[in-house]
Amino acid sequence: DESPASAPAEPQGALAADPPLIPGDDLFGELAAHSQRLETATPQEILAWAVEHYAPRFTMATAFGPEGMCLIHMFSEIAPQTPIFNLETGYQFKETLALREQVRERYGITIEYKYPDQTVEEYEAANGGPVYKTDTNRCCFDRKIKVLHQAARGMHAWSSAIRRDQSPDRAEHPIVGWDKKFQLVKISPLANWTKKDVWGFISKNDIPYNPLHDQGYPSVGCWPCTRSIALGEDERAGRWSGSAKTECGLHSSD
């Protein structure tokens, strides 16, 4: 792993005591109230609230999608010291990996790569070939979910780039909620944004984005599990196409 550009600041004031988050009705009620109140806030206001409440134990994972790029831009203005990382599965497109350098040049922010225990070569050798061909759930677990669990250690909250209108699975997503799987507060500043809002923000601020989006790939994941889509298809239809799988497990509750 490489170090982020700037280390997170030491806890200040009340945060110095750093009480652990205790999942339960009290916390869930509190998060639901924040979520309700933030329904009408802008993404920048939501991020600023999250930083105030949870930094330096606040982080974000990004796959450099258009929504993630918008959030990186906002973080650069609000809290550039926030640790942001990418799950480097070893199967990402070269166009995706190139965005990390563009982010560094444009914002001075270094997105940290988090790697699985085994390289692609070691993993495939140990499993008799590419696991994505035989068991995508296991491959996503080994190369994404396990790594995210490790990356989440010591954190209290993470930001997601989820939009409610991306898919029916995401339609009810709260702005602030409890992520049972990762035992973190999950903040989704873009929940109320549309695809048009995202691309309008990218265009207005000249934010770098993955060139694959201009080639029929609205949602880009690992290359073995991403295809381009046809006009009129759901924007996530190109992910794990041909299987019932729609999410890698980062955002699903099972």
Q: Is 144 in the site for ligand SF4 (CB under 6 A)?
A: yes
Query: 59 has which bridge partners?
Result: 158
Binding segment (CB under 6 A) for ligand SF4, from list 24-32, 69-77, 186-194, 219-227: 219-227
Q: Name the residue number minimizing CB distance to ligand SF4.
A: 222
* Residue 128 identity (one-letter amino acid): G
Closest approach of ligand SF4 to the CB of residue 52, in Å: 34
Using CB under 6 A as the binding criterion, the count of chain residues that bind ligand SF4 stands at 13
Known catalytic membership, residue 222: no
Q: Is 132 in the site for ligand SF4 (CB under 6 A)?
A: yes
C-alpha to C-alpha distances, 86 to 23, 31, 113, 144, 248, nearest whole angstrom: 27, 26, 5, 10, 14
Q: Is 225 in the site for ligand SF4 (CB under 6 A)?
A: yes
* ∠ CA 172-185-73, rounded to 5°: 85
Closest approach of ligand SF4 to the CB of residue 64, in Å: 14
Backbone angles phi, psi at 158, to 5 degrees: -140, 155
Q: Using CB atoms within 10 A of its CB, is residue 16 exposed (0-12), middle (13-18) or buried (19+)?
A: exposed
Closest approach of ligand SF4 to the CB of residue 186, in Å: 20
Structure tokens given for 153: 């250690």
Binding site for ligand SF4 (CB under 6 A): 89, 91, 132, 136, 139-140, 143-144, 221-222, 224-225, 248
The residues annotated as belonging to the active site are 248
